[in-house]
């Protein structure tokens, strides 16, 4: 179980300042959402938390420990992307266990972990299939299984449902909510969908042009938006 603390975080790509001093936190087991229009810096922020992008300045702490320079694999984080990024030539089972061998997890323990996660996500019948033989929703479930099996400190999601059709998106939203309820992991969830954020998160950070405009509970964001941008983006009553 883990906390995430971000202080005065900045990111430059060359001369362009993409994140302009982000302050954010997630408490132990909390589900926070990052929302904002395309290009506002959500994916960059998530990639920095995961260690996939370097920090220009500021701090990222997990459980109080400064991780700015810690390698991605040593951060104990699992990330689920929009594109799923499953290995097409491997079976579902192999996709889920990928990486366990190199971490020298014994085979019986791997099997046990796969069984547990597959039962939880109801994907047992799919374990022998290849990603090409799965529907979008099934693939998304496998991607979550792969994240879950590692039992990470933090879950990061980058618009995981945006490739799915509307009906499935709503179903999967419920699944993710259930998953969080049962697993209780600290989660940072990126979406450009306000409703998705309102349904899932206990706090929402509304971003615009590299800054957090407001970080609050959904009802507060909706009923008392900090500025015109937040009101407009969240569709708050005028």
Given the rule CB under 6 A, which residues bind ligand ADP?
13, 18, 36, 38-44
Shortest Å, Cβ 48 to Mg ion: 13
| Residue 51 binding target from Mg ion, ligand ADP, none, CB below 5 to 8 Å by type | none
For residues 200 and 179, the answer to whether their CB atoms sit within 8 Å is no
What's the min distance (Å) between Cβ of 115 and ligand ADP? 35
Q: Closest approach of Cβ 207 to ligand ADP, in Å?
A: 7
CA 144 to chain centroid, in Å, comes to: 10
What are the residue ranges of helices labelled H in 59-149?
92-97, 107-121, 136-148
Site for Mg ion in 23-62 (CB under 5 A): 43
Q: Rounded to whole angstroms, how far apart are CA atoms 11 and 40?
A: 12
* Contact status: 95 vs Mg ion (CB under 5 A): no
Q: Which is nearer to ligand ADP, 141 or 208 (CB)?
A: 208
The nearer residue to Mg ion, 43 or 187, going by C-beta atoms, is 43
131 binds, among ligand ADP, Mg ion, none (CB under 5 to 8 A by kind): none
Q: Among residues 30 and 159, whose Cβ is nearest to ligand ADP?
A: 159
> Could you identify the residue written with the tokens 């689920």?
80
Q: For residue 40, which of 205, 215, 208 has the smallest C-alpha distance?
A: 208
Task: Tell me if 186 contacts Mg ion by CB under 5 A.
Answer: no
The whole-angstrom separation of Cα 229 and Cα 208 is 8
Q: Which of 94, 80, 47 is nearest to 164 (CA)?
A: 80
Which residues lie near Mg ion (CB under 5 A)?
43
């Amino acid at each position: 179980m883990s906390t995430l603390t971000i202080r005065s975080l900045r990111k430059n790509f060359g001369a362009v300042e993409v994140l302009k001093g982000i302050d954010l936190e997630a408490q132990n087991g909390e589900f926070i959402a990052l929302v904002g229009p395309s290009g506002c810096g959500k994916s960059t922020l998530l990639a920095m938390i995961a260690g996939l992008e370097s920090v220009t300045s500021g701090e990222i702490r997990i459980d109080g420990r400064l991780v700015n320079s810690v390698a991605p694999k040593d951060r104990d984080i699992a990330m689920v992307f929009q594109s799923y990024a499953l290995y097409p030539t491997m079976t579902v089972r192999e996709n889920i266990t990928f990486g366990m061998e190199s971490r020298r997890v014994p085979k019986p323990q791997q099997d046990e972990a796969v069984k547990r996660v597959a039962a939880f996500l109801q994907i047992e019948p799919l374990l022998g299939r290849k990603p090409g033989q799965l529907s979008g929703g099934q693939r998304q479930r496998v991607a979550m299984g792969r994240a879950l099996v590692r039992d990470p400190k933090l879950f990061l999601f980058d618009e995981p449902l945006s490739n799915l059709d509307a009906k499935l998106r709503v179903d999967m939203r419920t699944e993710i909510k259930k998953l969080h309820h049962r697993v209780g992991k600290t989660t940072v969830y990126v979406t450009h969908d306000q409703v998705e954020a309102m349904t899932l998160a206990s706090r929402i950070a509304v971003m615009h042009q590299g800054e957090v405009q407001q970080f609050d509970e959904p009802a507060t964001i909706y009923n008392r938006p900090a500025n015109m941008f937040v009101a407009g983006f969240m569709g708050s009553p005028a």
